[in-house]
């Protein structure tokens, strides 16, 4: 499963169609309906992969971990009490999988944020998130971000989670997430500017 991070960030196929019927799909999947789980898998695959790849900076490992995340979700789906919280629950599994993987590794690779260099006109970093990305520049620019900064950017922009969902996963208050996101985007902007100036 060799997917580009760019596709994972920019493509949100299926999410809007699934969102309206998601609680019903989750309920059916929890009762063993493989077709329902297949729809959830298709709707969230790119987002989960993007989140994991964002955090690990290793496409092959991200593909393996993404499969593990969905396998665990399938096996544990009957433990999800609030079917309308599937996305937050799924990304909590992904978040934990990344942390567990990093703990098992001897050398922790640099994680990468998924923001491109700011284009002409200098838009806000939040606007740059949804634009197509030059992967090499993105990976280079993120090296100076802290782990928490990469986590918040991964959850908010790659995974597309709300501030409340991100706060729940990171075990922080929503205001702290807003501040962390602001600081992460500012740090990334500085990294991107430095990288552009060095060209």
Question: What is the model's pTM?
Answer: 0.62
CA 128, 132, 135, 137 dihedral sign is negative
CA distance 161 to 167: 10
pLDDT at position 18, please? 56
**Max Cα-Cα span within the chain:** 56
Which residue's entry shows tokens 């996963």?
169
Q: What is the distance between the terminal CA atoms of the chain, rounded to a whole angstrom?
A: 33
Which residue's entry shows tokens 């782990």?
147
| Domain at 5-104: CATH architecture | Orthogonal Bundle (1.10)
pLDDT at position 151, please? 86
What's the pLDDT tens digit per position in 38-85?
A: 999 999 999 999 999 888 888 899 999 999 999 999 999 999 999 899
pLDDT at position 156, please? 87
Query: What is the dotted CATH code of the domain comprising 125-198?
Result: 1.10.10.10
Q: What is the mean pLDDT of residues 181-198?
A: 85
Split at pLDDT 50, 70, 90, the class of 195 is: confident
Among the listed residues 121, 125, 124, the one whose alpha carbon sits nearest the alpha carbon of residue 113: 125
pLDDT at position 17, please? 52
At 81 the three-state DSSP class reads: coil
Residue 142: half-sphere exposure toward Cβ, Cα within 13 Å: 28
pLDDT at position 134, please? 62
**Of residues 133 and 170, more confidently modeled:** 170
Domain boundaries, the chain: 5-104, 125-198
């Amino acid at each position: 499963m060799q997917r580009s991070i760019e596709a994972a960030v920019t493509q949100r196929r299926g999410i809007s169609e699934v969102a309206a019927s998601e609680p019903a799909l989750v309920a059916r999947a929890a009762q063993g309906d493989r077709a329902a789980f297949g729809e959830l898998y298709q709707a969230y695959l790119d987002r989960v992969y993007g989140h994991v790849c964002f955090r690990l900076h290793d496409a092959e490992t991200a593909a393996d971990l993404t499969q593990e995340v969905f396998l665990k979700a399938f096996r544990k789906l009957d433990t999800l009490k609030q079917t309308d919280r599937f996305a937050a629950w799924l990304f909590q599994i992904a978040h934990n999988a990344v942390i567990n993987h990093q703990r098992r590794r001897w050398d922790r690779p640099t994680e990468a944020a998924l923001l491109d260099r700011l284009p002409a006109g200098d838009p806000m970093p939040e606007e740059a998130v949804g634009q197509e990305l030059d992967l090499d520049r993105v990976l280079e620019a993120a090296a100076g971000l802290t782990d928490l900064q990469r986590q918040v950017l991964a959850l908010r922009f790659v995974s597309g989670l709300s501030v409340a969902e991100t706060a729940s996963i990171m075990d922080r208050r929503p205001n702290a997430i807003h501040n962390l996101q602001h600081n992460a985007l500012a740090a990334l902007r500085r990294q991107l500017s430095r990288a552009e100036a060095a060209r």
